[in-house]
């Protein structure tokens, strides 16, 4: 069974840093592009970042560019999001999400989602 399990969400002060992790299982992790998508509780969805299956390229939403860094360790079937200079508006549930297409056929479509980890930025 395919599983994505996020961790690392906590309450952090504005300006602080945090690293989210996502443990993947049940599929060939290094075949797939992975994404982070966030959702303010009770609000809509916002795509945050993606990393290609081999880690060769990364992309970010303008709202997090320069502050967040996505990475992966294919030997550990794990995805990460390093979040620096956190702001109140980064408060959200962060989902680890699998792209539907393998390797070079990534599509920007999301077929499996974790349950999310909650990041709260507050003093």
Residues engaged in binding another protein (CB under 8 A): 35, 44-47, 50, 59-62, 95, 100, 107-111, 113-116
How many CB atoms sit inside 10 A of residue 25's CB?
11
Question: What's the distance, Cα to Cα, between the start and end of the chain in Å?
Answer: 39
What single-letter DSSP state applies at residue 69? E
CB 86 to another protein: min, Å: 20
* Shortest spacing between CB 13 and another protein, in angstroms: 27
Chain centroid to Cα 37, Å, comes to 6
* Closest distance of CB 44 from another protein, Å: 5
Between 93 and 121, CB nearer to another protein: 93
């Amino acid at each position: 069974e395919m599983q994505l399990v996020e961790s690392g969400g906590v309450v952090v002060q504005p300006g602080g840093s945090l690293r989210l992790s996502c443990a993947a299982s049940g599929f060939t992790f290094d075949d797939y592009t992975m994404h982070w998508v966030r959702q303010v509780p009770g609000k809509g969805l916002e795509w945050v970042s993606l990393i290609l299956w081999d880690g060769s390229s990364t992309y970010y939403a303008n709202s997090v560019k320069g502050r967040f860094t996505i990475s992966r360790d294919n030997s550990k079937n794990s995805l990460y999001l390093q979040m620096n200079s956190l702001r109140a508006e980064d408060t959200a549930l962060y989902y680890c999400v699998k792209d539907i297409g393998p390797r070079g056929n990534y599509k920007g479509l999301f077929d499996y989602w974790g349950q999310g980890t909650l990041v709260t930025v507050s003093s």
